[in-house]
With several copies, the nearest count.
Chain A
Amino acid sequence: MQEKLMDLKEAVASLVSDGDSIVLGAALENAIPFAATHELIRQGFTGLNMIAPISDMSTDMLIGAGCCNEITGAWVGNVSAGLGHNYRRATEKGIPHRVKVNDYSNFTLGMALFGGAYGLPYIAVKSLLGSDIPKSNPLLKVTDNPFTEGEDPVVLVPALKPDVAFLSMQRADRFGNAHYWGSYGLTQESSIAAEKIIVLADEIVEPEVIASDPSRVVIPGFGVNAVCHIPAACHPSPLIGCWTRDNEFFHEYHKLTRDPEGFEAWIKEWVLDIPDHAAYRAKLGERLEQFRIRGKALSAPANYAVE
């Protein structure tokens, strides 16, 4: 096995290029690796295509910072707080510039990434019939089911292969093997579909810990390009077993980014003026500690003994 521990700054610099299509958290509202969002903004990437079923505040920040030209997904906003102001400014007024939206529904985006992961050229679904989404997203094709006599329309969703996937995992070893639990959305499909995978691990553990439970592995370690040790990388989103959600942080962002100036100030304070995630955690200070999970509600063990 190859050691893959890397500084996040270095991982982002060496594995991401301008114009890449990027999955940055695909579990929906938990395990969003905001630490990677910050790093993409600090390094000033441009022309990114952000792919996610639910694009939360992370995508809104990338839009506002001018990193993102395109959004491929089913929903963009601020889940607990409302609309995404940068998203609206970009799509409605071209501030800071126009952003193209490739509309999907959750299920059809899931199928696109499933197809990308497992080499299927396209997937035929019965969703989105009658919806105008296939009109706004010309990648989708409405056609007839060749197995049925008479009319039986289906929507064909072509496979989608992201360039890079960033994922938050509860624990990983230095070789990129990781454990994840709780709902995972499209984590598995989107990262297997991706050309490169960067894991942000809340904790680095000995390889024996991961190897003790290969069914807890959601994406195979041998496909991972870099593993970065970033505690609370997902703040303010939750990570099951590690951190709860900092709801106020989402609301403050929503309130403070109503106008471009407010966003400029916010991004300066929380991203641009901060060198790395350690400094971000230091800035959060005691605030972060209130979201740390200290209780125990442990899983019953599974036995893999051979005799």
Chain B
Amino acid sequence: MSLDYSTQELMIIASAREIKDNERIFVGMRLPITAYGVARLTHAPNAVGLFESGIARYEPADGMLYTMCDAPNQLGAAWTCGLIQIMGMLSGGRVHAGFIGGAEIDKFGNINTSYIGGIENPKVKLPGSGGAADIAAMSQRLIAIMNHEKHRLVEKVEFITSPGFLDGGDARKRAGLPGAGPSAVITDRAILRPHGPTNELHLSTIHPGHSQAEILENTGWDLKIAPDLSETPEPSSAEMDALHQIDKDGYWR
């Protein structure tokens, strides 16, 4: 019998699976911070969560957070310090993974959170990088979380805020970027991963209840299929228990 879960709950659990034990992770807010909590309670009890403002935590905050700087995220932290110390860990190569979102991602995992419609007279001025460009450049690997819509998963982003594999192949390495680049893009329909020498994002797993045709239809480029395509494993009862422990109020249900 399959468990009852929402799409967002599945995305959180899929994100949690990307975190390994003992890793240092830029967890961001909302969905990724919840994923970090689930990972801590399941397979990654020694993962450390990092927040750009200057916070490191062994345990997720006890209490609702509207921003990473809220009091519950500071009380009992492992370290409260400055931005340079925490983001510097990233720059120093000490951060294993980071989660970021974005308005647009392209087939090489480049992400735009800056401009739609040109720099000079943009149609839409998005909020900008925050720490995302740094995380994308310098985290050992990068996990992107996106809604799977045709205008969000595009052939080529018009402005690269956060670099993925740039033009593909070894372009990222040639550009001098220290981190290895995107390892997973988790959407509400599927998980994409880079594959082969081009490092193009391929369809890797399909979330239960979604079809390959629907996913191709909702992707803005000619999405290739990974040779080992499979279904995204459903949440286990242990994973769901952990999630319910974190998300007491059922915000993500």
Q: A91 to B66, alpha carbons, bound, how many Å? A: 26
The 8 Å CB contact of A181, one of B80, B91, B177, is B80
Interfacial chain B residues near A1, Cβ < 8 Å? 46, 58
Which of A7-15, A39-47, A218-226, A268-276 lies at the interface with chain B? A218-226
Interfacial chain B residues near A250, Cβ < 8 Å? 66
Given contacts A27-B69, A110-B87, A223-B94, contact A130 B163 (CB under 8 A): yes
Residue in A closest to B57 when the chains form the complex, CB atoms: A214
The 8 Å CB contact of A186, one of B66, B84, B175, is B84
CB-contacts of A56-104 with B (<8 A): 73-77, 79-80, 83-84, 87-88, 91-92, 101, 103-104
Q: Is the CB of A106 within 8 A of B134?
A: yes
B128 adjacent to chain A (CB < 8 Å): yes
Given contacts A108-B134, A127-B137, A238-B70, contact A186 B88 (CB under 8 A): no
Q: What 0/1 readout, one digit per residue, does chain B (117-146) give for beta carbons within 8 Å of chain A?
A: 001011111111111111011100000000
B19 adjacent to chain A (CB < 8 Å): no
Interfacial chain A residues near B162, Cβ < 8 Å? 131
Q: Is the CB of B129 within 8 A of A106?
A: yes
A286 adjacent to chain B (CB < 8 Å): no
Q: Is the CB of A107 within 8 A of B134?
A: yes
Q: What 0/1 readout, one digit per residue, does chain B (177-202) give for beta carbons within 8 Å of chain A?
A: 11000000000000000000000000
A171 CB to closest chain B CB (Å) equals 15
A contact residues, range:
35 or more
Q: Is the CB of B53 within 8 A of A80?
A: no
Interfacial chain B residues near A31, Cβ < 8 Å? 69
Q: Is the CB of A222 within 8 A of B129?
A: no
B168 adjacent to chain A (CB < 8 Å): no
B246 CB to closest chain A CB (Å) equals 17
Interfacial chain A residues near B160, Cβ < 8 Å? 130-132
The 8 Å CB contact of A106, one of B63, B75, B124, B130, is B130
Which of A16-24, A148-156, A277-285 lies at the interface with chain B? A148-156
A298 CB to closest chain B CB (Å) equals 11
Given contacts A92-B125, A133-B129, A183-B55, contact A79 B67 (CB under 8 A): yes
Q: A272 to B12, alpha carbons, bound, how many Å? A: 44
Q: Is the CB of B131 within 8 A of A105?
A: yes
Given contacts A92-B122, A129-B176, contact A304 B137 (CB under 8 A): no
A88 CB to closest chain B CB (Å) equals 6
The 8 Å CB contact of A119, one of B91, B122, B171, is B91
A121 CB to closest chain B CB (Å) equals 10
The 8 Å CB contact of B63, one of A77, A222, A306, is A306
Interfacial chain B residues near A87, Cβ < 8 Å? 125
B contact residues, range:
35 or more
The 8 Å CB contact of B80, one of A74, A84, A215, A244, is A215
Main secondary structure of the interface of B (DSSP, over half): loop
Q: What 0/1 readout, one digit per residue, does chain B (65-80) give for beta carbons within 8 Å of chain A?
A: 0111111101111111
Given contacts A28-B52, A118-B88, A132-B160, contact A105 B69 (CB under 8 A): no
A217 adjacent to chain B (CB < 8 Å): yes
Q: What 0/1 readout, one digit per residue, does chain A (214-252) give for beta carbons within 8 Å of chain B?
A: 110100111100000000000001101000110100100
Q: A136 to B91, alpha carbons, bound, how many Å? A: 22
A182 adjacent to chain B (CB < 8 Å): yes
Q: Is the CB of B78 within 8 A of A177?
A: yes
CB-contacts of B105-120 with A (<8 A): 114-115, 119
Q: A83 to B127, alpha carbons, bound, how many Å? A: 7
Q: What 0/1 readout, one digit per residue, does chain B (83-97) give for beta carbons within 8 Å of chain A?
A: 111011111111000
Interfacial chain A residues near B68, Cβ < 8 Å? 28-29
Residue in A closest to B91 when the chains form the complex, CB atoms: A119
Given contacts A126-B176, A129-B175, A238-B71, contact A136 B83 (CB under 8 A): no
The 8 Å CB contact of B51, one of A88, A183, A221, is A183
A184 adjacent to chain B (CB < 8 Å): yes
Q: Is the CB of B128 within 8 A of A75?
A: yes
Residue in A closest to B121 when the chains form the complex, CB atoms: A92
A residues neighboring B (CB under 8 Å): 1-2, 27-31, 53-54, 73-77, 79-80, 83-84, 87-88, 91-92, 101, 103-108, 110-111, 114, 116-120, 125-133, 135-136, 151-154, 177, 181-189, 192-193, 211, 214-215, 217, 220-223, 237-238, 240, 244-245, 247, 250, 293, 297, 304-307
Task: List 26 contacting pairs A-B, 8 Å CB cutoff, sorted by A.
Answer: A28-B52, A74-B128, A80-B67, A83-B127, A107-B83, A111-B84, A118-B88, A126-B177, A130-B160, A131-B162, A132-B161, A135-B119, A136-B119, A151-B174, A183-B53, A183-B54, A183-B81, A184-B82, A185-B82, A189-B82, A214-B77, A217-B79, A221-B79, A222-B56, A222-B78, A304-B71
Smallest CB-CB A-B distances: 5 pairs: A118-B88, A119-B91, A130-B163, A183-B54, A30-B69
